[in-house]
């Protein structure tokens, strides 16, 4: 689609490594040059646990920045008085809040609703010169994969990527005239809204299919395949009545549970040295992971066909190991002792909401191996389990095919959306004649 859009009449070389050619008439500049100030949030010593209240002034840390939006945690707020004590860290309209820890590239523009909220310790506050760079345009630029990769290379920190004001100020970006920034924003607002509507339709269809698929699995692993079977109470809410001849046992009786253990970050690499390593569920795929990290000193290892379960938010996400892995403390492995891994997987996939209900934690939800081990599960006979597994595989085949098709369509739409934004904000396409704007 983007090939049909016009390019600019002429281009010039830039000093930007990730945008080597920009339209004639565009400028380049350091982010520091385009800002009146860039500052970190308050020091940890300025904000104590006792300062936090419910339903006060939100404190915005990296976890509160998602999809270029600010998402407040109303349990992580401070009083108006405390916010006034830290007034230099309070947001103004058009500020940019940038996560400086963990995942690089998370940023959002401050809108009317967020005026006066507080930049957190883990964030950076960027106050732009608006005659030079519009906030919404800046967010689209700074969210680009190329900018994120640059920040990762420059970031510092032994255990996680960490930005500082110097690194962010030295990010070089293309700077179109303000009138063209307005045109680009208007064009992207219109076009991404179309794409988002299509994506919403597909997401709802996938959600409906997954609910139907889960219902098929849940009925099979908790009620069996014989509609005439005599039933008995399981004593467990999420199971209900189960066939009379099935055993009811704690999970630890049926499976071995292996909690992950994280090695020093210096022992991990991206070069393929050592065992593929999974810290949490970030690399989970539709069925099996796609690891990015490797580790030569992984203590906790899993075998092929072990079930991988996320024990930290999002609690309950599942994958199946397709090879040997090292696992960190965000995961546990589940290895069937007396029941097949397929049956274990189907059981666990039905208990996702239950796992979330037992999760605890002050900073993030988590479950322990002990909690998982105490979960009561039904155990059919070996013959019944084999029939149930075969039945589920047959009944879910059509669901899986359609879900995969829709997920692939979502991926393609997301790729096109990101490509359209990248081409517009770097000047590879000329949208000036495609929108009507008034300055």
Write phi, then psi, for 280 (nearest 5 degrees): -155, -150
CA quadruple 345, 347, 353, 356: dihedral sign: negative
Confidence of residue 245 (pLDDT cuts 50, 70, 90): very high
Confirm whether 344 is domain-assigned.
Answer: yes
- Domain containing residue 305: 247-379
**Is the per-residue pLDDT at 242 higher than 80?**
yes
Question: What is the structure's pLDDT at 312?
Answer: 85
Question: What is the structure's pLDDT at 6?
Answer: 95
Confirm whether 205 is domain-assigned.
Answer: no
Confirm whether 67 is domain-assigned.
Answer: yes
Confirm whether 152 is domain-assigned.
Answer: yes
The answer to whether the CB of 124 falls within 8 A of the CB of 62 is no
Burial 323-353 (b: 16+ CB within 10 A, else e): eebbbbebbbbbbbeebebbbbbbbbbbbbe
Where among 130, 148, 175 does a domain terminate?
Answer: 175
DSSP 270: S
Average pLDDT over residues 270-297: 91
Tell me the pLDDT tens digit for each residue of 7-19: 999 999 999 989 9
Closest Cα partner for 391 from 232, 227, 256, 228? 227
Same domain, 168 and 255: no
Question: What is the structure's pLDDT at 414?
Answer: 96
Confidence of residue 158 (pLDDT cuts 50, 70, 90): very low
* Tokens of residue 202, six digits: 């597909």
User: Cα angle vertex 368, ends 258, 266, to 5°?
Assistant: 65
Confirm whether 215 is domain-assigned.
Answer: no
Same domain, 35 and 155: yes
Question: What is the structure's pLDDT at 362?
Answer: 43
Where among 130, 156, 175 does a domain terminate?
Answer: 175
Average pLDDT over residues 69-86: 93
Quickly list DSSP for 359-414.
Answer: -B-SSS-B--HHHHHH-EEEE--HHHHHHHHHHHHHHHHHHHHHHHHHHHHHHHHH
Same domain, 41 and 164: yes
Same domain, 153 and 269: no
**Is the per-residue pLDDT at 70 higher than 50?**
yes
Question: What is the structure's pLDDT at 149?
Answer: 84
Average pLDDT over residues 161-182: 90
d(Cα 379, Cα 245) in Å, to the nearest integer? 9
Tell me the pLDDT tens digit for each residue of 390-405: 999 999 999 999 999 9
Closest Cα partner for 308 from 338, 337, 278? 278
Same domain, 125 and 251: no
Same domain, 146 and 47: yes
Average pLDDT over residues 429-433: 94
Confirm whether 399 is domain-assigned.
Answer: no
Separation of CA 64 from chain center: 12
Average pLDDT over residues 258-277: 89
When the pLDDT of each residue in the chain is averaged and rounded to a whole number, the result is 90
DSSP 44: G
Same domain, 351 and 260: yes
Same domain, 169 and 279: no
Same domain, 171 and 290: no
Choose between 305 and 44: higher pLDDT: 305
- Cβ neighbours for 52, distance < 8 A, ≥ 6 positions apart: 59, 75, 76, 77, 78
The answer to whether the CB of 50 falls within 8 A of the CB of 91 is no
Confirm whether 201 is domain-assigned.
Answer: no
Confidence of residue 236 (pLDDT cuts 50, 70, 90): confident
Question: What is the structure's pLDDT at 161?
Answer: 53
Q: How many domains does the structure of the chain reveal? A: 2
**Is the per-residue pLDDT at 359 higher than 70?**
no
Same domain, 265 and 138: no
Confirm whether 130 is domain-assigned.
Answer: yes
Question: What is the structure's pLDDT at 88?
Answer: 95
Question: What is the structure's pLDDT at 164?
Answer: 86
Average pLDDT over residues 117-122: 93
Confidence of residue 340 (pLDDT cuts 50, 70, 90): very high
**Is the per-residue pLDDT at 157 higher than 60?**
no
Same domain, 34 and 152: yes
The domain that holds 126 is classified in CATH as 3.90.220.20
Where among 379, 398, 431 does a domain terminate?
Answer: 379
Question: What is the structure's pLDDT at 156?
Answer: 54
């Amino acid at each position: 689609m983007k090939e049909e859009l016009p390019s600019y009449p002429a281009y010039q070389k830039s000093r930007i490594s990730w945008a080597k050619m920009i339209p004639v008439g565009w400028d380049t500049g350091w982010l520091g040059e385009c800002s009146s100030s860039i500052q970190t949030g308050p020091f940890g010593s300025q904000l104590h646990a006792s300062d936090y209240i419910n339903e006060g002034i939100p404190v915005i840390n990296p976890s509160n920045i998602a999809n270029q939006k600010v998402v407040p945690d109303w349990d992580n707020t401070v009083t108006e008085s405390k916010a006034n004590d830290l007034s230099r860290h309070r947001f103004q309209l058009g500020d940019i809040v940038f996560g400086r820890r963990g995942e690089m590239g998370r940023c959002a523009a401050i809108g009317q609703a967020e005026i006066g909220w507080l930049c957190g310790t883990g964030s950076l506050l960027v106050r732009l010169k608006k005659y030079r760079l519009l906030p919404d345009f800046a967010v689209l630029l700074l969210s680009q994969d190329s900018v994120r990769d640059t920040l990762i290379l420059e970031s510092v920190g032994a255990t996680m990527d960490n930005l500082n004001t110097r690194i962010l100020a030295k990010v070089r970006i293309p700077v179109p005239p303000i009138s063209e920034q307005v045109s680009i924003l208007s064009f992207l607002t219109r076009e991404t809204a179309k794409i988002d509507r299509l994506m919403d339709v597909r997401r709802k269809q996938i959600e409906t299919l997954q609910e139907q698929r889960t219902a098929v699995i849940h009925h099979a692993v908790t009620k069996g395949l014989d509609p005439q079977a005599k039933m008995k109470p399981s004593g467990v809410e999420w199971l209900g009545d189960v066939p009379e001849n099935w055993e009811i046992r704690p999970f630890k009786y049926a499976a071995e549970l292996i909690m992950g253990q994280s090695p020093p970050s210096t022992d991990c690499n991206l070069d393929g040295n050592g065992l593929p390593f999974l810290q949490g569920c970030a690399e989970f795929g539709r069925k099996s992971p796609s690891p990015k990290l490797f580790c030569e000193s992984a203590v906790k290892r899993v075998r092929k066909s072990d079930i991988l379960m996320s024990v930290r938010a999002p609690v309950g996400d599942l994958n199946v190991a397709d090879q040997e892995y090292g696992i960190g403390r965000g995961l546990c492995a589940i290895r069937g002792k007396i029941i097949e891994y397929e049956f274990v997987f189907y059981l666990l996939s039905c208990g996702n909401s239950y796992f979330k209900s037992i999760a605890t934690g002050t900073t993030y939800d988590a479950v322990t191996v002990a909690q998982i081990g105490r979960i009561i599960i039904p155990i059919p006979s070996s013959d019944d389990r084999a029939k149930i597994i075969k039945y589920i595989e047959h009944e879910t085949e059509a669901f899986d095919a359609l879900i995969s098709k829709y997920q692939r369509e979502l991926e393609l739409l997301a790729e096109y959306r990101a490509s359209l934004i990248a081409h517009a904000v770097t000047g590879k396409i000329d949208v000036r004649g495609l929108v009507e704007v008034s300055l």
